[in-house]
Structure 1
């Protein structure tokens, strides 16, 4: 048996066990960094640290507090909060109490929050603030199982008239009760952790489905223990790393990163405020971070917009440097694949050195100057954007997984990464491609099933453990996976041609620096069309230089000059596509797509049915008068 197999097969039953082991191994090492806003509300945040021992004191107090409230093994405790250090401490406290965490996105409305709390039969809700408390209070009549709401930020979240006695508590009060309980019952948490079995429920994550009610995905303790060991075995992360964690922890991608960190023992800087990413990167100076493609697209568009604002000469330099970066990345990856050496030609090396001094070095500084690698997941990254960053020295390792597979099933392997693929399976994960191209997975990361939905579980999970992902993909002879599209999203034109819209959309994002979101439509039609939403900052910057200064976003988007600008990029895209893939008509949307209107999931994936329904008139208008085959 190899060391990797041994590491994974002899894993402990839970991440709670791994946490206890980590604290014992490195009690004084730094575990977490987190920002404390300046008292005046002005100026930079003050970053504080917790050692593993300090984190454990809070985790065990939370666990004991929940035990004292009567929470039993496998009972659900919901967590509705943005990404912050208290989220991680609370989650670990829930797990160390032997309970299970129900994750709720803070953006979820009161109706859907109530559905999740009721369906999961959550006994306790740990709510970030008064706004999250208000949602539960509004729907309390529908939540007979909910006995307590624990509030992290106390401001404005006091008990109200009509609340049952003890229904609202602060997190500080819960920790104080837990500390008192531990003083009298010092072995209480230790006994709960030791009693956890690998098949016991650890997490209930509700998928943000594009239609209908979300489904609760049941992930037992063994899923996370396996993930922690599998991530460590890749060697991509070391104990000396500093991770910047901003992804939503209610999402499986963010959650899996917390398991890997506990096993490896590195530092994690935690701050979920997306508007603070650019400000935080030079402060945190991460050596690695994970993100969704939209973040890299925004950075790329921002750099392009800044270059354009600097005048024609600067923009030409940027365009030249972007081309060199892509050429350099493609040649070095091709050479590494063939010979194991990532060298490039002398002429390209010289050009790259000049471009590095002019453009790439500044880009790396913006990421904090120490970033070894970034992991991208949750949706497909345009290969052209991936090659740009790779050539600029920001190595983006695409990975792949689903909520139902505990997030990480594939990841690109370090130096041998290949842009445009999601890499190789993690140790212990099996993969095969079905006859229709669907990716099937099997292994210790696969869910137990959907909560209280045996029929839905049977639709995707075979009796021998193979899970149907719903994604279409191709495996290279040496095991690299390329995702082509969601099975249900494939478009079949009225002429019988199949089109993968995500592939076309990704290519357009690489071509057009002004795009924020794009939806390609064409199912059962005789040509393809697109709905395009523009990046507000980028297009307003362009507008100011092109006679549209002072106009609102909606006015700029409606201007003929803007349509002409975007049309140029559409034509450039069409020049790279097969005839049946080309976009014949497009419409610019009056605003960007967002989570609040239900058009994007919290992990920024496009909800196609929602967008197509909302902009049905625009779509139909693009086909009006056209003869459908």
Structure 2
């Protein structure tokens, strides 16, 4: 440490003393006013118990131990009734909001690439009554175009207000809604549309022109396409007999006097509400059949873990609505009178890729109180902020670290650091609008480092959830008072969870007296009806027990802690047994190594006939380029990634991080391939929820696998 740094260290002694003095003076009133004692008791209490007394379960929440919850509002047993109830309660209040588009500009980058930048205005809002009118008109317009109750209708569209209006129209008139991710490839879309046999499709002009147009001749039953945009569409080049309509024109059709009296055939709880096509991480997408009572039970369980949900809340919708996490989150928000402002990953913050420099991102304008995210997005936020911290001067950096570590210790004890929140973390919190009171994370494991960062810098609890499309996204969510990491909480009040033994000894050979573990099975009214038009092996993961309860076998491996909270240990399909007999959990390795500063994304890979793990890495371009310059390596980004010296440097950091978090020797990748291209849903290498598509990644890097394993 040089003289300057010694001087700074001495200068910080009064700061440390001041923080200690502040804690001593304010602790007692803060402790009393914030119900800390009650929160600590809630954190430490047993949250779920086994109904049989066996360690394997089934486990149920102690808050609904003797029966499973099926609905929040008595008599509101279908989705249309829920929305109707919300309209009656919250009529004139804001419901769905969309930002006004002011202008678009092309911005040329130093590399010569041209990026489209947006300048956006304020949010324009539809009230609950406005949305109800739009829903009714659109539904009657669809009937006028020949759509029949209990006949499927598809939506292939980005997340936006029109998506939710379409969904509510379908729920109201008993049209089972078939959903597809906006990033699915042409072949997958054609397959799903043909399998579901839809005659009507709702989409956007962009998706229609870029993805659908080329495969329309292959789609057998399609008669009507409704595009949600207000822009005009050139109808030349589309198949004969296929009718194209704007959403506005269909609403006008539904508003005509002759269509106002259309009889509504309301759904029953057992009627099909949604056929949700998965993102296809394990191959061809499958349509999960979800009935009304499934969704209502699942949302009942989820909402119980979000205290104070109501009209004062603003939710920001930007994840794919074709994902069960986002769809159930938004329907739940509408049920409780929240307002939903729409966004996208490209416009979320002031620094987002489509926001013109100097303009405001969606979070800055909307200032949401609630938001959901997948770990990939949270990891990006964490790395971006910490990268900026590293660029600070010594004084600022030291002050930030001092506050960060101080608050970390407070959080671990179940306390907080209000002074740090106001003085030091206010700017970081402003990245998401400065008003977020709770975040929900799901879709994949979240690293401890990222979890703690979100707690500290965004000054709010982070609920880590676990669920699948097949269980309506419901399984478990950590309680607000729970300050632990690495766990996914106790079972929700709508379901129970048990473990099915695997008998695969060896994975925990280093543990002392490991708790019982096994494949996670979720049972309850939220478990869906299986896969659409699939028989035999495809539905073997669903079963009904002797009591008539549905169960789903998740394929994930978990263990229960003494307080009834679940921890995901492994993924059955991610487990590889190496040549020497050790089991490696690829997902565990990836989650641990995402904390490397040089890494944006990583896929671990292992062959059972080999004795070591290898990896494919999407490197952080800014960090790796800086390192390359320090090593005297010049060239394009692709040349830097292909340089053996840079591979060794990344591998060196991987090894250091792996050892620091105590990965086993056999779990640490010993070879790496740097990818010059990012893995996005558009590349087909990850899903819309940014889950790795292992089969596609293996095929993509096949030559590199042979090279790293020294194939002859």
The match for 1:207 among 269, 274, 278 is 278
Partner SS, residue 319 of structure 2 = coil
Alpha-carbon contact 2:69-2:300 (below 8 Å) kept: no
**Is structure 2 residue 283 aligned with structure 1 residue 217?**
no
Partner SS, residue 126 of structure 2 = strand
Aligned to 1:443: 524
**Which of 114-123 and 414-423 deviates more?**
414-423
**Is structure 2 residue 84 aligned with structure 1 residue 13?**
no
Describe the shift of the 1:4–1:404 C-alpha distance in structure 2 as closer, same or farther (beyond 3 A).
closer
Describe the shift of the 1:138–1:568 C-alpha distance in structure 2 as closer, same or farther (beyond 3 A).
closer
Looking at structure 1, the residues matched to 424 and 220 of structure 2 have their Cα atoms a distance apart, in angstroms, of 59
**Is structure 2 residue 217 aligned with structure 1 residue 141?**
yes
The match for 1:400 among 466, 475, 485 is 466
CA drift at 1:88 = 0.8
CA drift at 1:457 = 4.8
Alpha-carbon contact 1:246-1:271 (below 8 Å) kept: yes
Aligned to 2:442: 377
Aligned counterparts, 1:580-619, within 5 A = 580-619=666-705
Looking at structure 2, the residues matched to 516 and 358 of structure 1 have their Cα atoms a distance apart, in angstroms, of 30
CA drift at 1:408 = 2.3
TM-score (norm 2): 0.79
Aligned to 1:34: 98
Deviation track 1:84-122 (CA, whole Å, cap 9, x = no partner) reads 111111111122121011112222222221111100111
Aligned to 1:468: 553
The match for 2:304 among 193, 215, 233 is 233
Describe the shift of the 1:515–1:312 C-alpha distance in structure 2 as closer, same or farther (beyond 3 A).
farther
Alpha-carbon contact 1:105-1:602 (below 8 Å) kept: yes
Alpha-carbon contact 2:347-2:362 (below 8 Å) kept: no
Describe the shift of the 1:11–1:588 C-alpha distance in structure 2 as closer, same or farther (beyond 3 A).
farther
CA drift at 1:12 = 2.5
Partner SS, residue 596 of structure 1 = helix
**Is structure 2 residue 597 aligned with structure 1 residue 516?**
no
Aligned counterparts, 1:308-457, within 5 A = 308-311=390-393, 314=396, 322-329=404-411, 331-332=412-413, 342-343=414-415, 356=421, 359-392=424-457, 393-436=459-502, 437-457=518-538
Aligned to 2:262: 188
- How many residues matched? 602
Partner SS, residue 544 of structure 2 = coil
The match for 1:501 among 586, 596, 609 is 586
Looking at structure 1, the residues matched to 153 and 580 of structure 2 have their Cα atoms a distance apart, in angstroms, of 52
Higher relative contact order (CA 8 A, sep 6+): 2
Aligned to 1:22: 86
Alpha-carbon contact 2:619-2:676 (below 8 Å) kept: no
Looking at structure 2, the residues matched to 317 and 552 of structure 1 have their Cα atoms a distance apart, in angstroms, of 37
CA drift at 1:545 = 7.4
Deviation track 1:111-170 (CA, whole Å, cap 9, x = no partner) reads 221111100111200011154256444333332321100011254523335644561111
Describe the shift of the 1:311–1:624 C-alpha distance in structure 2 as closer, same or farther (beyond 3 A).
farther
Alpha-carbon contact 2:570-2:585 (below 8 Å) kept: yes
Looking at structure 1, the residues matched to 622 and 150 of structure 2 have their Cα atoms a distance apart, in angstroms, of 47
Describe the shift of the 1:591–1:316 C-alpha distance in structure 2 as closer, same or farther (beyond 3 A).
farther
Aligned counterparts, 1:289-308, within 5 A = 289-308=371-390
Looking at structure 1, the residues matched to 428 and 162 of structure 2 have their Cα atoms a distance apart, in angstroms, of 32
Partner SS, residue 67 of structure 1 = helix
CA drift at 1:477 = 2.2
Aligned to 2:338: 266
Partner SS, residue 204 of structure 1 = strand
Deviation track 1:66-93 (CA, whole Å, cap 9, x = no partner) reads 1111211221111111111111111111
Partner SS, residue 381 of structure 1 = coil
CA drift at 1:616 = 1.9
Describe the shift of the 1:557–1:286 C-alpha distance in structure 2 as closer, same or farther (beyond 3 A).
same
CA drift at 1:368 = 1.1
Alpha-carbon contact 2:600-2:618 (below 8 Å) kept: yes
**Which of 232-241 and 480-489 deviates more?**
232-241
Looking at structure 1, the residues matched to 131 and 179 of structure 2 have their Cα atoms a distance apart, in angstroms, of 21
Partner SS, residue 473 of structure 1 = strand
**Which of 248-257 and 449-458 deviates more?**
449-458
Partner SS, residue 77 of structure 2 = coil
Looking at structure 2, the residues matched to 602 and 558 of structure 1 have their Cα atoms a distance apart, in angstroms, of 28
Looking at structure 1, the residues matched to 430 and 313 of structure 2 have their Cα atoms a distance apart, in angstroms, of 17
**Which of 373-382 and 461-470 deviates more?**
461-470
Partner SS, residue 219 of structure 1 = strand
Gaps of 5+ in 1: 333-341
Aligned to 1:487: 572
Partner SS, residue 75 of structure 1 = coil
Aligned to 1:574: 658
Aligned to 1:335: none
CA drift at 1:472 = 0.8
Alpha-carbon contact 1:599-1:607 (below 8 Å) kept: yes
Gaps of 5+ in 2: 1-62, 106-117, 351-360, 503-517
Describe the shift of the 1:315–1:456 C-alpha distance in structure 2 as closer, same or farther (beyond 3 A).
farther
Alpha-carbon contact 1:65-1:175 (below 8 Å) kept: yes
**Is structure 2 residue 612 aligned with structure 1 residue 527?**
yes
Aligned to 2:249: 173
